[in-house]
């Protein structure tokens, strides 16, 4: 909800202007106070020095008669206090020393000294206190100058803040444009803080976009899993229900009952295979770049050969890997699944008794070739069997039709491909290529 303008915080430009005015006020106040103290002390000393000079020069009457000096002179009898001498306005009776007095609403600095003449006279000599720079009459002027200085500083702060905050305004405009035809924030230059904020927001948007893609992939994988499962499991589940009804309703002879139970077992294995394969497909869709690991391809091929020969004892599997084969940065489970499926496809559907796993590397491309001596596959089916739920014409019963689709998926995830062709051993050749390192991705079009 957008706050009313009256309740919103002040803009950065206003804050800069206020800060400039406050800083100027603080500087002016500090300077004024310091200057006032210095000048006040200096003025008092200057007044006293001038008085001393005038008193010393009293023997030269021509100096005292100069009206520009603003000098008052009054002599009083020490015994009677009567005025015996006066020049200018009359000064009040004062004891010896220096004092500040008001005469006709004007401040005078007065020095009173005893003079040994005419029976003893107290001579008071005074000069105007406003004859120096600092005085009370000029205080309003100083205040006015300080106020004007603060206002000028505030105005300059306002003007200079405009160009300074322009990158922030651009960043605000770019942010408001998100979702209205723009999905990225253009780079902002001019102010380091704005640049840092722009980079931080761009990184945040990239993380949000990645999270959104991951969420979308998860939802799509779940939808695909549900749709494919519902489509592919309908037939075997219907057959299983029919077999169960047959077993429940009819009292079958032992031989027929065993046949129905065998059908149930085959249907159960098919359901299990479909669910497992669909789960593997969904896992491939959710593969994340940060889950990649370094995979030793030679070691992986050796394990595939050993484990499959242990399950199928009448099959010989050979591994021919180049000495400089190296490693692949990928998903270990996905690569292992792809090679396993190719080997099991050759054993189960090709009826192969000999399989050769060969691997070599060229630049950043790794090639794994699976040759077998089985029944092969018609040329026109080499491409179609790579699709989901596609089965070859000579496929053994009970398969899910997803084995080679899983291989194609993993090949694509690893930046490669899978090709089927006639092999030199008389059966099928499967050529799986993958990148040893992921190719740089351009997300500009995401």
Pairing of strands 121-128, 71-77: antiparallel
Band (pLDDT 50/70/90 cuts) for residue 119 is low
pLDDT of residue 302: 92
Phi and psi at 122, nearest 5°, equal -95, 110
pLDDT of residue 59: 39
Give how far the C-alpha of residue 431 lies from the chain's centroid of Cα atoms, to the nearest Å.
Answer: 44
Name the nearest CA neighbour of 110 among 122, 121, 119: 122
Tokens for 76, please give them. 């009083």
pLDDT of residue 183: 62
Angle subtended by helix axes 254-285 and 192-249, to nearest 10: 180
- Output the CA torsion 329→330→333→335 (10° steps): -90
Strands of 417-422's sheet, edge to edge?
316-321, 354-362, 365-372, 428-435, 417-422
Band (pLDDT 50/70/90 cuts) for residue 442 is very low
- Residue, of 49 and 92, whose pLDDT is higher: 92
Between CA 290 and CA 181 the distance in angstroms is 30
pLDDT score of 432 more than 90: yes
Between CA 264 and CA 270 the distance in angstroms is 10
Share of the chain above pLDDT 90, in %: 10
pLDDT of residue 445: 40
CATH code, 183-286: 1.10.287
End-to-end Cα separation, the chain, in angstroms: 29
Between CA 57 and CA 125 the distance in angstroms is 11
pLDDT score of 149 more than 80: no
Residues sharing a CB contact under 8 Å with residue 108, sequence separation 6 or more, in sequence order: 72, 91, 100, 101, 102, 126, 127, 128, 129
pTM: 0.47
Mean pLDDT score across all residues of the chain: 75
**Residue 396 belongs to what H/E stretch?**
none
pLDDT score of 420 more than 80: yes
- Average pLDDT on 254-282 reads 74
CATH 3.30.565.10 domain residues, the chain? 290-446
- Residue, of 245 and 41, whose pLDDT is higher: 245
Band (pLDDT 50/70/90 cuts) for residue 67 is very low
Band (pLDDT 50/70/90 cuts) for residue 428 is very high
- Out of 173-177, 217-221, 393-397, which region has the weakest mean confidence (pLDDT)? 217-221
Band (pLDDT 50/70/90 cuts) for residue 103 is confident
The predicted-structure confidence for 202-252, as pLDDT tens digits, reads as follows 788 777 777 777 777 666 656 665 655 655 566 677 778 888 888 888 888
CATH code, 290-446: 3.30.565.10
Between CA 27 and CA 33 the distance in angstroms is 10
CATH 1.10.287 domain residues, the chain? 183-286
- Out of 151-155, 245-249, 333-337, which region has the weakest mean confidence (pLDDT)? 151-155
Q: How many CA atoms lie within 13 A of 190 on its CB side?
A: 14
Q: Give just the sign of the alpha carbon dihedral 142, 144, 146, 148.
A: negative
Pairing of strands 354-362, 316-321: parallel
Tokens for 263, please give them. 């059908």
């Amino acid at each position: 909800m957008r706050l009313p303008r009256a309740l919103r915080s002040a803009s950065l430009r206003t804050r800069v202007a206020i800060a400039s005015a406050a800083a100027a006020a603080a500087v002016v106040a500090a300077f004024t106070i310091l200057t006032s103290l210095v000048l006040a002390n200096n003025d008092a000393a200057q007044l006293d020095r001038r008085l001393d000079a005038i008193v010393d020069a009293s023997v030269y009457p021509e100096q005292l008669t100069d009206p520009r000096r603003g000098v008052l002179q009054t002599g009083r009898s020490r015994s009677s206090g009567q005025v015996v001498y006066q020049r200018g306005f009359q000064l009040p009776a004062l004891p010896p020393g220096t004092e500040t007095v008001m005469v006709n609403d004007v401040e005078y600095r007065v020095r009173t000294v005893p003079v040994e003449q005419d029976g003893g006279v107290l001579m008071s000599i005074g000069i105007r206190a406003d004859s120096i720079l600092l005085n009370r009459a000029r205080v309003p002027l100083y205040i006015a100058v300080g106020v004007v200085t603060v206002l000028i500083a505030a105005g300059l702060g306002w003007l200079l803040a405009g160009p300074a905050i322009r990158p922030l305004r651009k960043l605000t405009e770019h942010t408001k444009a998100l979702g209205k035809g723009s999905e990225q924030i253009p780079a902002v230059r001019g102010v380091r803080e704005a640049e840092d904020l722009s980079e931080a927001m761009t990184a945040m948007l990239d993380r949000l976009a990645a999270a959104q893609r991951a969420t979308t992939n998860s939802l799509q994988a779940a939808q695909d899993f549900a749709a494919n499962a519902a489509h592919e499991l309908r037939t075997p589940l219907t057959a299983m229900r029919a077999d169960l009804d047959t077993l429940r309703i009819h009292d079958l002879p032992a031989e027929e009952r065993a046949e129905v139970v065998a059908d149930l077992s085959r249907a159960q294995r098919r359901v299990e295979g479909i669910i497992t394969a669909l789960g593997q497909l969904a896992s491939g869709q959710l593969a994340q770049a940060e889950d990649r690991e370094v995979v030793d391809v030679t070691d992986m091929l050796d394990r595939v050969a050993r484990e499959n020969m242990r399950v199928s004892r009448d099959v010989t599997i050979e591994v021919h890997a180049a000495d400089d084969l190296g490693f692949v940065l990928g998903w270990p489970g996905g690569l292992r699944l792809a090679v396993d499926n190719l080997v099991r496809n050759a054993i189960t559907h090709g009826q192969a008794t000999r399989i050769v796993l060969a691997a070599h590397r060229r630049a950043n491309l790794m090639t794994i070739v699976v040759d077998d001596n089985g029944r092969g596959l018609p040329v026109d089916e080499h491409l179609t069997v790579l699709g989901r739920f596609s089965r070859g014409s000579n496929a053994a019963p009970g398969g899910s039709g997803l084995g080679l689709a899983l291989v194609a998926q993993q090949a694509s995830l690893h930046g490669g491909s899978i090709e089927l062709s006639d092999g030199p051993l008389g059966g099928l050749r499967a050529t799986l290529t993958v990148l040893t390192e992921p190719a740089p991705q351009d997300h500009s079009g995401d």
